[in-house]
A and B are shown apart, each in its own frame.
Chain A
Amino acid sequence: MRNVWTVAKREFAHYFVSPIAYAVVLLFLIILGLLFVVNVYFLSQQSGFGGGGEPTMQFVFGPLSSLILFFAPVLTMRLMAEEQSKGTLELLLTAPVREWEVVFGKWLGAWMFGLCLIGATAVYALILFAYGNPDIGPIYSGYLGLALMIGAILAMGVLASSLTGNLIVAVAIGYAFTLMIWIIGFASDLIQSLASGFGGRSNAIVEVVNHIDFSNHFQSTFNRGIIDTVDIIYFASVIAISLFIATRVVEARRWR
């Protein structure tokens, strides 16, 4: 376990050395800031006419949960791929360190940075508290959900990165994974409509596909203030499975 922490610390510190991380954070906050301002402005306009309501952190969480998908593979692309292309993996794996410790440590370092990233959005919550009276519950659950979700996406990114020694390929595979798991819900709609045309015996498939879909585990639960163990187990399993496969991939590399 100590080795996990050693690796994680190095990766976490690395984000603050490389310019990529700063670029990502900057873009991230600009986009979210813009959406936040626009949303709050229109809401306040509406409430002037008696409509609208209390501004909430859902203005931030909604777009944030989508943005993570685009930023996470960039954050994870170099984690394993660079070790392979630079040959430093040879150094790590001839030290008394196990493969899973390397993989898990890399993910942990990235996740800690991911938490900082979503933590930076707390500034919007502070603004809301300063000028309004938002409900605290959905903010807690929203952050919990985001923390789990970014952990899961980063784990898939680590897996993508372990599959190749090329950063561009790692990013492409990462996008393939995350987008697939994001839009798989569309497939369930399709299956449902097709199945209903043929007499409808596909409920089980639809259910499974809906369970795999990322958005069903955040938008409809955490983002509305609901904390469901199903969702927690879902994200935890995505992390565990991705890191397990990534470890196996690194191990398999030795046998070639």
Chain B
Amino acid sequence: MIQVEGLTKRYGQRTAVDGVSFTVERGDIVGFLGPNGAGKTTTMRILTGYMPASEGKAIVAGYDVFTHSLEARKRTGYLPESVPLYTDMTVWQYLDFMAELRQLPGREDRVDEVLESVHMTDRADSFIGNLSKGMRQRIGLAQALLHRPEVLILDEPTIGLDPAQVKDVRDLIRELGKERTVMLSTHILSEAQTLCNRVLIINKGKIVAEDSPDRLRTRLSGGDRIGLKVTGDGAGLADTLSKVPGVTTVRSVSDGEFEIETAPGGNIRPEVAKAVVNGNWGLLEMKSMGMSLEEIYLQLVQAESEEEEAVQPQQEEATDA
């Protein structure tokens, strides 16, 4: 559905997107993760035909966004990051206007339908300028859904919403993702974790990782992390545990609670359990914790900037010499 090859965008000297390539299949919900200024919005703007790339190719819904921009735009729904809306129109007028621009047949019914799906029917006659941020967000989403697009591109769709609305929007996206292709950017990692079946992590214009959230987790951490809870204060348990083969570190979280990190390869949980029981501690709980996407993300993003910092001083030395 979305095919991107070597996409590059330069603003003067600055390279915002640097040779990005990825593909998104139909029915995928892809999360686009990255710190601010990583190039998420720029990439999305290129995909929606708002701005051209400096280099590279992008095909959306079977149409090249540069050479067949109008065809691609017809099949794409887009929610821009700032949710720009005409504040002087009512909700209904606005959606009707956008539907007319999209030349939809049966416009009025469709507008009603979309309003219903974002739970805004009761505010149809309110001026958009008087709506809260969350409501505007939903109107923006309604606008993106109007023409039943094959591809939905949502730039931070849940930002500024209250928890109930966040859940609503996520449910809606999940529902849409069943038959459509959804690409959403976010920097809320738990959102990507729960919502997306694939995650692209972008930093400084480059894709640094691309996989499903689960596999990303195992691939990066290699080993596992085990949480342990025993009766009593667990005195001496740390020593015993660290002697179990495969355990790399043992950390005492609180009385009777431990966190163990293991070396990659092999499941050593049975050995850990045996060690606990043999030592006469009562095993209350044992769970595999894995690495949260948050940690992976920080690891990746930090690794990138450390590399760069490592390079820069050398260059400075060279010029000094």
Contact = CB atoms under 8 A, between A and B. Distances in A.
A97 B86 CA distance: 17
B103 A2 contact: yes
Nearest to A86: B84
Interface in B34-86: 45, 48-52, 70-71, 73-74, 76, 78, 80, 82, 84-86
Contacts of B167: none
Given A93-B49, A94-B73, A96-B73, A87 B80 contact: yes
B101 A95 contact: yes
A170 B13 CA distance: 29
Nearest to A85: B84
Contacts of A93: 49-50
B102 A88 contact: no
Contact of A96 (B50, B70, B82, B89): B70
Nearest to A5: B100
B103 A90 contact: no
Interface stretch (A10-18, A117-125, A224-232, A236-244): A10-18
Given A6-B100, A255-B51, A18 B80 contact: no
Interface in A213-256: 254-256
A208 B98 CA distance: 45
B80 A96 contact: no
A2 B105 CA distance: 13
A91 interface: yes
Contacts of A96: 70-71, 73-74, 101-103
Given A86-B84, A87-B84, A88-B85, A95 B51 contact: no
A44 interface: no
Interface in A68-122: 86-98
Contact of A91 (B74, B80, B88): B80
Contacts of B78: 91, 94
Contacts of A2: 103
A3 B85 CA distance: 18
A17 B48 CA distance: 31
B50 A97 contact: no
B114 to A, nearest CB: 15
B185 to A, nearest CB: 15
A141 B95 CA distance: 42
Contacts of A10: 89, 97
B167 to A, nearest CB: 26
Contacts of A98: 70
Interface in A1-38: 2-3, 6-7, 10, 14, 17-18
Contacts, number: 61
Nearest to B69: A96
B186 interface: no
B181 interface: no
A14 B93 CA distance: 11
B76 A91 contact: no
A94 B50 contact: yes
Nearest to A18: B88
A216 B60 CA distance: 53
Contacts of A14: 88
A2 B101 CA distance: 8
B86 A88 contact: yes
A165 to B, nearest CB: 12
Nearest to A87: B84
B49 A6 contact: no
**Max chain A Cβ within 10 angstroms of own Cβ: one of B78, B82, B86:** B86
A49 B174 CA distance: 87
Nearest to B83: A87
Contacts of B103: 2-3, 96
B233 to A, nearest CB: 58
A252 to B, nearest CB: 11
Contact of B102 (A17, A90, A95, A254): A95
A17 B87 CA distance: 12
Contacts of B158: none
Interface in B113-158: 143
Contacts of A255: 51-52
B80 A3 contact: no
A86 B143 CA distance: 17
B11 A256 contact: yes
A90 B50 contact: yes
Contacts of A89: 84
Nearest to B72: A96
Given A95-B73, A254-B50, 9 more contacts: A7-B101, A14-B88, A87-B84, A88-B85, A91-B84, A91-B85, A94-B78, A95-B102, A96-B71
30 contacts: A2-B103, A3-B101, A6-B97, A6-B100, A7-B101, A14-B88, A17-B88, A86-B86, A87-B80, A88-B86, A89-B84, A90-B45, A90-B50, A90-B80, A91-B80, A91-B84, A91-B98, A93-B49, A93-B50, A94-B76, A94-B78, A94-B80, A95-B101, A95-B102, A96-B70, A96-B71, A96-B103, A254-B50, A255-B51, A256-B11
